[in-house]
Structure 1
Amino acid sequence: MHLTVKILNGEECTLAASPSSLVSDVKEQVQALLSIPVADQKLLFKGKALLDAKPLKDYGVEDSCKITLVVKKSTLKTLDSSNPTSPQVPSPTEPERPVWEKMRVFLRRHFRERDVEAVLQEFKKEFERNLYSLSLDDIERFAITKLRQA
């Protein structure tokens, strides 16, 4: 069967697989075709994340189906960590976002001054990690909840 793998930025590729092919096999083909490391790939089908060890047939993937590829930011973050203007740590000339300043004020009430920056940096890292691990299902649930409240 032939599958189309589409990246959220619009790029796509077509590859061949069988219903018994593992998701990890598909990821390896994507790596060969698009040069995206397997570790940085998250494949979605009908909004559901595909696990590497499962065959495509377990998800109902059939001939001519389209699978969405989300590229994780881990490789980009590793490369950016050496860059002083990385979004994770503002440069001295770049103003910090107001939410982080408010968080710093809050942390000062609960931690010693010398510990505040270390706790804030760890919180920022954890926040970014959680943000980038959201699935389309998570975002959809969040949006539906907020739309119902409006």
Structure 2
Amino acid sequence: MYLTVKLLLGRRCSLKVSGKESVATLKKLVSQHLQVPEEKQHLLFRGQLLADDKHLSDYSIGPNASINVIMRPPEEAALDKTGPPQPLWLQLGQVLGKHFGPKDAKAVLGLLRQEYEERLQRLSPEALEQLAGHLLAQQQLEELAEEKEDLAAASELQQHDGGGEEEEEEEDGKEAAQQTGPPCSFTH
């Protein structure tokens, strides 16, 4: 059977495997074809993380299935949650502190974080891929707009500088004509 294996943001490959293959073997194939180290891969099928010691048939993965590769290990995500709060959460905590007592503000912030994390868990890899594509497209549009502004500013500067030079040349020509007399013309 053939499987499509894809990374977020588009890179993908088609691999020929059997249902008896282990997830670890699939990771080796992905590593060879997409140049992603096996230890950084987490394979997902229908939102479920695939365990290395299981076989593809254990997850009912059939022909033409699509497997997603996530690069960031869940352990790192768990470490981030226990690390220092992100600036967003600090700012939100400060805003809540202005409207609630310290205990209530902490409780509301905890509920907001919990809901945020639950919603992130429900996002499908396809939705994440669409969001990433949208954000990248928006970033590219902003970069193009900045380039156009830079080019317009540079063009305006050149026109301003260039116009000054032409005026100076005209003035120099008039001065030279006044010093030497009227211009000569030759006819044949």
The TM-score normalised by the length of structure 2 is: 0.43
Partner residue of 2:89? 99
Kindly indicate which of the two structures has a greater share of residues assigned to strand. 1
Q: Deviations over 1:102-150 (max 9, x none)?
A: 88xxxxxxxxxxxxxxxxxxxxxxxxxxx8xx9x7x2349xxxxxxxxx
Match of 1:139 among 98, 122, 127: 122
**Distance in 1 between residues matched to 2:47 and 2:26, nearest whole Å:** 17
Mapped pair 1:57 → 2:57: yes
Higher relative contact order structure (alpha carbons within 8 Å, sequence separation ≥ 6) = 1
**Distance in 2 between residues matched to 1:12 and 1:71, nearest whole Å:** 14
Runs of 4+ with >6 A deviation: none
Provide the secondary structure at the position in 1 that maps to 2:28. Answer: helix
Q: What CA RMSD, in Å, does the superposition of the two structures yield over aligned residues? A: 3.6
Mapped pair 1:28 → 2:44: no
**Distance in 1 between residues matched to 2:25 and 2:60, nearest whole Å:** 16
Provide the secondary structure at the position in 2 that maps to 1:63. Answer: coil
Q: Deviations over 1:57-115 (max 9, x none)?
A: 010111111111111169xxxxxxxxxxxxx99xxxxxx82534788xxxxxxxxxxxx
Provide the secondary structure at the position in 2 that maps to 1:4. Answer: strand
Structure 2 residues not aligned, in runs of 5+? 75-82, 94-116, 125-188
Kindly indicate which of the two structures has a greater share of residues assigned to helix. 2
The TM-score normalised by the length of structure 1 is: 0.52
Provide the secondary structure at the position in 2 that maps to 1:27. Answer: helix
Structure 1 residues not aligned, in runs of 5+? 75-87, 90-95, 104-130, 142-150
